[in-house]
Structure 1
Amino acid sequence: MDAAMQRPVVDSDHGRLELSASVEERLRFALRFAVLAPSNHNTQPWRFIVGPDSVAVCADRLRALPVADPFDRELTISCGAALFNLRVALARVGLAYSIALFPSNADPDVLAEVRIVPDGRCDDTLPDLFDAIATRVTTRQPFADEPVDQAVQQALIAAGTAEGVDIACVSPLVERERIAMLVALADRQQFGDPRFRRELANWIHPRRREDGMPAYATDMMPLLDFATPLAASVVRTFDLGGGVAATHHRLVLGSPLIVCIATGSDDREAWLATGQALERVLLAAASAGLTASYLNQPIEVPGLREQLPALVGLQPSANAQLLLRIGRGPDVPPGVLHSPRRALDEVVS
């Protein structure tokens, strides 16, 4: 065989796929990238069932957050982000597919069934996003004092629109100040709830190795940066809301762009669409050399979520689903881009 024909279809830090790989091998390879999707508290609330020519994307509700996310809205969004990564990876390895969302007569935890078909969907724009899956990073550090170019903002809006959601981009300081105040208010309310603190503490426990959040990544307080073994106990015991609110207020004011993702309805279909839009927006941002972090606190607090659409310039009837800050973050050392991930054999069957 000619040497060029022996080259792998994909050769990356997350695996190597040979040209001769079967459909099922390509599916399993693509799942290595699906699991790099973001999730609230890095819960990774997904599992996948692989067949010879299909993948079922399922919710793992044992990894739910009943206090912060009582209706599994953000859990479904996370699974939607994993589904989008799967779509990108399948396009990259040359597999066309059809998708059935919430297939009838199936387990209610099956959110989507992706089936490989010769005449299926083939989005030519997706392979260009593949490399960004591995470089996308969430940072809670301050961003550079550098505005996000209007062309990039339009690309982010187009990415969300392609997945059927509304995107609002906010850059003026006076508008960011209003958003910062709402985020700080939500922080104080959440941390004033002992149930929220217990739930958060469970996901920053030092014994976690393949999921959850390292204490240094939580931005709770400087104390947690050098006392990681005590982080869970500190969060569980003390109301850190004032310090967290002040930190996030500064981060919002120092972020050149705030992005809100919203939908017309507020049901499981809208949540899954939000997840796919989220990852498409994040990959578009990463392709432009930008990074993001989440400011979802106002959306998680009843009574505050309804105030957000007006603050970002959306219709009052819009359902705010996610709030992000986007900008140029600090350089991240090689090998630590993503939060820890569970082994593939724990989430794929």
Structure 2
Amino acid sequence: MSTPQADAATVTAWVGDAVMAPSMHNAQPWQFRYVPATGELRLRMDLTRSMPHTDSHHRSMHVSCGAALFNLRVAAAHAGWTAHVRPLPDPADPHLLASVRFVEAADPDGVADLYPAIRRRRSSREAFTDERVPAALLDALSGAARSEGVGLSVLGEWQAEAVLDVVEDAAQDERLSPEARAEIARWTGSGVEGPDGIPTYAFGPRRRGGRAPARDFAVGRHLPERRSAVFEHAPCLVVLGTAQDRPPDWLLAGQALERVLLQATADGLSTSLNSQALEHPELRWLLRDPHAGTSTSFPQMLLRLGYGPMVPPTPRRDVGDVLAIDDERGDRAE
């Protein structure tokens, strides 16, 4: 008896959910290809969306694609299928990040319940309230990361102060780097009118007080309509980290990141990502938590959690631009 395979329309819908994942500067650096004859979905990096200066080793691209991969798993599980992921299946083709096959089965990873959060999740650059995040929620988020084989460290007060100093150093380096400013300008601001990048409405307010890390995508550009706000004085910061620092770990970190973000969204939390310090190797080392053991030896993402206003979504590319489907003969359909 042949094994049932997901049809192209179903896989297309799942990819539509996958691409709701966050990515550095909302560049959306993923390409999918579905082969109905074999039931295989392939995920590749789209190198036309790389950032050679701030992501020269494609670490952030791996993390972003890993987040999309997790959304794909959730979407399939919600529909009663299990996505079997084979990461980096071809050593001769490092840009092929995953091969995925789908089997009609129960939800062994327990992720189907996260499905409603996929399209509710936002990357917020707004000020949060000073209300503390309950320890029980933080414990649950740590458990979500562990379920994906990744560590999550909740920073104490003195650790957060040290990390905030690192983030400020990264922001200063960014302001002084023409290359970094050029990459940011490409993906942000008034020039962004298409289905990718970060439009000005998503910049969030200028920080006029508080200590929360708030990346300023204006980078010196004058935006007269932009408001200002006082951010949290004691932000809730967590660091997502892996035991090793290789492409498979980056891909794993992306899946864990999205699991944490979806769980946080389901729990009513606002989330803000900050990769600024992680873009500098000498600063990234300083984000390590010396008390967290080897599970978080290599920081992959800094997250800020709290309670803030609902924000609008950033744009997304059309599924037809990121998904190719082969015809029955194995040729790519146009």
Q: Give the TM bin, normalised by the shorter chain.
A: 0.7 to 0.9
CA contact (8 A) 2:152 2:241 kept: yes
Give the secondary-structure state (helix, strand or coil) at the position aligned to 2:164.
Answer: helix
* 1:104 Cα offset (Å): 2.4
**1:157-190 deviation per Cα after TM superposition (whole angstroms, max 9, x unaligned):** 01110111111012x4443222211111111012
1:126 and 2:111 correspond = yes
State the TM-score, normalizing by the size of structure 1.
0.80
Per-residue CA deviations over 1:111-152 (Å, capped at 9, x if unaligned) read 001112357x84251110000001111111111111111111
Count matched residues.
303
Partner of 1:85: 71
Which amino acid in structure 2 is aligned with residue 125 of structure 1? G
Match of 2:22 in 1: 38
Shift of 1:301: 1.4
Matches of 1:346 and 1:281, distance apart in 2: 27
The residue that corresponds to 1:13 in the other structure is none
RMSD after superposition: 2.6
Other-structure match for 1:185: 169
* Contact in 1 for aligned 2:117/2:262 (Cα 8 Å): yes
* Stretches of structure 2 lacking an aligned partner (at least 5 in a row): 208-215, 223-227, 325-334
Change (3 A) 1:205 1:329: closer
Instruction: Please say if residues 32 and 344 of structure 1, whose CA atoms lie closer than 8 Å, have aligned partners that are also in contact.
Output: yes
Paired with 2:79 and 2:305, the residues of 1 have a C-alpha distance of 30
Distance, in Å, in 1 between the alignment partners of 2:127 and 2:189 is: 25
Q: Which has the higher helix share?
A: 1
Query: Does residue 1:99 correspond to 2:77, yes or no?
Result: no
Q: 2:187 aligns with which of 203, 222, 236?
A: 203
Q: Equivalents in 2 of 1:298, 1:254: separation in Å?
A: 19
Q: TM-score, normalised by structure 2?
A: 0.83
Of the structure 1 ranges 160-169 and 174-183, higher mean CA displacement relative to structure 2 is found in 174-183
Question: What does 1:106-185 align with in structure 2 at a 5 Å threshold?
Answer: 107-118=93-104, 122-123=107-108, 125-170=110-155, 172-185=156-169
Residues 257-295 of structure 1: CA distance to partner in whole angstroms, max 9, x if unpaired?
211011111110000000000000000100100121122
Q: Distance in 2 between matches of 1:254 and 1:143?
A: 10
Name the SS of the counterpart of 2:282 in structure 1: coil
The counterpart of 1:269, out of the listed 242, 248, 273, is: 248
SS at match of 1:136: coil
d(CA) in 2 for partners of 1:303 and 1:215?
A: 30
Distance in 2 (CA, whole Å) between partners of 1:308 and 1:252 is 20
- Shift of residue 51 of structure 1? 1.9
SS in 2 for 1:322: strand
Helix, strand or coil at the partner of 1:135: coil
More RCO (CA 8 Å, sep 6+): 2
Q: Distance in 1 between matches of 2:199 and 2:52?
A: 21
Give the aligned partner of residue 212 of structure 2. none
Residue of structure 1 in register with 2:233 after alignment: 253
Tell me, which stretches of 5 or more residues in structure 1 are unaligned?
Answer: 1-20, 223-230, 241-246
- State the alpha-carbon separation in 2 of the partners of residues 67 and 58 from structure 1: 21
Q: Provide the secondary structure at the position in 2 that maps to 1:141.
A: coil
CA separation of 1:49/1:168 partners in 2, compared to 1, >3 Å: closer, same or farther?
Answer: same
Q: Residue in 2 aligned with 1:62?
A: 48
- Of residues 206, 218, 226, the one that matches 2:203 is 218
